[in-house]
């Protein structure tokens, strides 16, 4: 098994010093976390590492020395002597060549039975900042490592887990006045924003206040004054009530003082918060547009004439149905009864609208104010208003009640289902008689049902578009989409390895990064030539000869193409393809 060294890119330009990290013997790998700079005292370094080990539950140790090519080589002998003081496992001597992009890497062991110098060394560069922010490590990264299964140590996720658990180590930067100076991804100072820090300070009392208000509203909604039967039945039929209840649950999730347990829960909270913020912003914009342009007055003045116009069209349609529509022969008695029935209800509903006409402008004015609760609340109120204004379209559905009565059934409004019912004799007789008449006069009934079903279909189409827009605002993961576009590595599902340019006698160098990221400056690492993709972060990473090929390698038995000849291959050549290759367990071979 090859010996793998995971080296952070942020330390590539660091001054000479000692390498701090974690050794994973089951995987035969070392994870470099930081570089300690000179001058240093070995006793203080051991004391600091012991303190960090107790706090992070990671077995930290000095793994070797780092030499920068820009400095003189006078410390070389001194660093070799430090290996006798600190080395408990492998001792790595890593350094950059002067005027070259290639690095030297040498690993030695105190105990020859543990490892040998004949093993092939692979240097894997990783971006420490992106590993910390990508959440590729296991969600439960604060548990006791002694309770983990032995198989977990051989997985690539152990590398990410080691970096994630060492977050406390990254709080000390290179400008500290103490005896320990480190270089790591936050060595120039902890990344932070003044605005974000102020928002964090304000969010604690704000969440406590919102939680108090929500608990008061929850107790008020559960009171008997609002939960008795007729009122609760009306609430369940209103889209506004459902949307307010939905937003109430969202506010409870956001204002919860309990921290998110994993990345999925944190992402859900962020998506809800951004959705709520955009919803309120769009609602405020709509409200300002309605009041600045005086659209409320225009709507109030045009609502009643529009209702009269629609009612006039419906009355003309019913008059046409009460005659000989399209030459169809109708049952005249039933035709007149149904026509007058619908004409009466349309006239009755218009009377209610005219009765409310003096108050329509005030009602619309207060409805416009509800937009400050969010655009979705305003759209839900609009959907309910459309349903109320077209209530007469539901009259034809009284036939379904007669059909249930004919079968001895009844709609249970409390359980929202159809149950058996014991009707009185007169109720059963009249209901059965009416249903039988309507059944045998099906052509006349079907024509009226078809007309009002088409009218209802138009209303349902408008309401469906409104509900679709509301659901889109409620459920669209805007935060995740923006994060995917701006910082794709935060949502990476795996890592990609790029094989860098190689020279004889120099260890194999790989660059580990998220699949959608660009390469770092080529002057630092060399030119990539081939790549292997690990789609799942928890897969074991083992280097063995000839077991699995890299992307772009020709499978055995495949005839050579002109581009596959050794003359056209890069400097890595066919030798790399036949030597050390990565086996990614669980991933099928690329065809």
**CA atoms of 227 and 244, how far apart (whole Å):** 16
Handedness of CA 305, 311, 315, 320 (dihedral sign): positive
In this structure, are residues 4 and 541 in contact, taking their beta carbons and an 8 Å threshold? yes
Q: Please give the structure tokens belonging to residue 529.
A: 């030539």
The secondary structure of residue 491, as a DSSP letter, is G
The Cα–Cα gap between 273 and 252 comes to 11
Provide the b/e sequence for 547-569 (b: ≥16 CB within 10 Å): ebbbeebeeeeeeeeeeeeeeeb
Low-confidence ranges of the chain (pLDDT < 50): 139-154, 517-591
- pTM (2 decimals)? 0.62
Domains of the chain by residue range: 2-188, 290-476
- Let me know if 278 is exposed, middle or buried by CB neighbors in 10 A (0-12, 13-18, 19+): middle
The tokens of 526 are what?
């060399």
37 phi and psi angles, rounded to 5 deg: -95, 160
Query: Which pLDDT belongs to residue 534?
Result: 44
Six-digit token string for 253: 């999730």
Query: What are the distances in angstroms from CA 51 to CA 44, 60, 87, 122, 389?
Result: 11, 10, 18, 30, 72
Alpha carbon 113 to chain centroid distance? 48
Is-contact 581 545, C-beta < 8 A? yes
d(CA 287, CA 510): 56
Tell me the C-alpha distance between 100 and 91, whole Å: 24
**Cα–Cα distances in angstroms (integers) from residue 85 to residues 58, 64, 81, 109, 262, in the given order:** 20, 11, 7, 13, 40
2-188 — its CATH code?
3.40.140
pLDDT of residue 4: 86
**Is 561 in contact with 519 (CB distance < 8 Å)?**
no
Q: pLDDT value at position 118? A: 56
Which pLDDT score, from 0 to 100, does residue 548 have?
32
Range 445-468 burial, b when 16+ CB lie within 10 A, else e: bebbbebbeebeeebbeebeebbe
* Residue reference for tokens 């974690």: 22
Give the model confidence (pLDDT) of 344-374 as tens digits: 888 888 888 888 888 888 888 888 888 888 8
For the chain, the straight-line distance linking the first and the last C-alpha, in angstroms and rounded, comes to: 26
Q: What is the CA radius of gyration of the chain?
A: 37
Contact yes or no for 274/475 (Cβ under 8 A): no
Residue of 410, 518, 391 lying closest to 455 (CA atoms): 391
The bridge status of strand 29-37 relative to strand 60-67 is unpaired
Place of tokens 């506004």: 240
Of 297, 394, 299, 305, nearest to 350 (Cα)? 305
Classify 135 in phi/psi space as left (phi over 0), alpha (psi -120 to 50) or beta: left
10 Å Cβ neighbour count for 241?
A: 16
Gap between the Cα atoms of 47 and 209, Å rounded = 45
pLDDT of residue 97: 72
And the tokens for 551?
Answer: 């992307």
- In the chain, what's the furthest Cα-to-Cα distance? 114
> Which tokens go with 508?
């194999």
Other Cβ atoms within 10 Å of 15 Cβ, number:
16
pLDDT for 465 equals 92
3-state DSSP call for residue 320?
helix
């Amino acid at each position: 098994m090859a010996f793998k060294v995971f080296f952070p890119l942020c330390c590539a330009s660091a001054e000479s010093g000692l390498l701090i990290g974690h050794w994973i013997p089951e995987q035969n790998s070392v994870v470099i976390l930081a570089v300690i700079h000179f001058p240093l005292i070995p006793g203080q370094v051991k004391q600091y590492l012991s303190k960090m080990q107790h706090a992070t539950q990671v077995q930290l140790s000095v793994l070797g020395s780092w030499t920068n090519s820009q400095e003189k080589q006078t410390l070389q002998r001194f660093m070799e002597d430090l290996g006798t003081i600190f080395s408990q496992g492998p001792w790595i001597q890593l350094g950059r060549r002067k005027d070259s992009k290639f690095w030297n890497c040498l690993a030695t062991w105190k105990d020859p039975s543990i490892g040998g110098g004949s093993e092939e060394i692979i240097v894997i560069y990783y971006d420490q900042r992106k590993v910390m922010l990508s959440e590729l490590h296991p969600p439960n990264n604060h548990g006791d490592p002694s309770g983990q299964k032995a198989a977990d140590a051989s997985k690539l996720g152990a590398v990410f887990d080691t970096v994630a658990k060492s977050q406390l180590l990254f709080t000390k930067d290179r400008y500290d006045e103490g005896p320990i100076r480190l270089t790591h991804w936050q060595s120039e100072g902890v990344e932070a924003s003044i605005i974000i820090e102020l928002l964090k300070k304000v969010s604690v009392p704000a969440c406590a206040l919102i939680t108090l208000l929500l608990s008061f509203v929850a107790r008020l909604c559960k009171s008997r004054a609002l939960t008795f039967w007729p009122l609760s039945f009306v609430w369940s039929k209103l889209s506004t009530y459902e949307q307010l209840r939905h937003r109430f649950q969202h506010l409870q999730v956001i204002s919860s003082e309990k921290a998110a347990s994993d990345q999925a829960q944190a992402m859900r909270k962020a998506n809800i918060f951004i959705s709520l913020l955009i919803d309120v912003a769009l609602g405020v914009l709509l409200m300002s547009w309605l009041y600045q342009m005086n659209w409320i007055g225009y709507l109030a003045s045009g609502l009643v004439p529009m209702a009269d116009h629609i009612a006039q069209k419906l009355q003309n349609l019913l008059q046409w149905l009460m005659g000989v529509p399209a030459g169809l022969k109708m049952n005249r008695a039933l035709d007149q009864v149904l026509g007058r029935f619908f004409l009466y209800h349309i006239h009755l509903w218009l009377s209610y609208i005219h009765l409310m006409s003096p108050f329509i402008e005030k009602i619309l004015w207060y409805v416009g104010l509800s937009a400050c609760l969010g655009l979705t609340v305003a759209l839900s109120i609009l959907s309910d208003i459309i349903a109320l204004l077209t209530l007469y379209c539901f009259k034809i559905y009284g036939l379904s009640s007669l059909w249930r009565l004919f079968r001895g059934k009844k709609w249970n409004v409390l359980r929202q289902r159809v149950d058996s019912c014991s009707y009185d004799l007169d109720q059963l007789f009249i209901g059965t008689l009416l249903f039988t008449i309507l059944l045998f006069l099906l052509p006349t009934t079907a024509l009226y049902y078809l007309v009002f079903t088409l009218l209802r279909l138009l209303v349902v189409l408008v309401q469906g578009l409104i509900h679709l827009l509301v659901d889109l605002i409620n459920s669209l993961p805007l935060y995740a989409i923006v994060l995917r576009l701006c910082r794709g590595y935060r949502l990476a599902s795996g890592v990609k390895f790029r094989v860098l340019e190689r020279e004889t006698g120099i260890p194999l160098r790989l660059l580990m990064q998220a699949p959608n990221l660009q390469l770092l400056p080529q002057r630092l690492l060399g030119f990539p030539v081939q790549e292997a993709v690990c789609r799942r972060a928890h897969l074991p990473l083992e280097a063995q000869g000839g077991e699995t090929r890299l992307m772009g390698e020709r499978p055995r038995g495949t005839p050579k193409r002109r581009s596959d000849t050794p003359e056209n291959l890069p400097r890595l050549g066919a030798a790399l393809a036949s030597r050390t290759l990565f086996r990614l367990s669980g991933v099928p071979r690329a065809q």
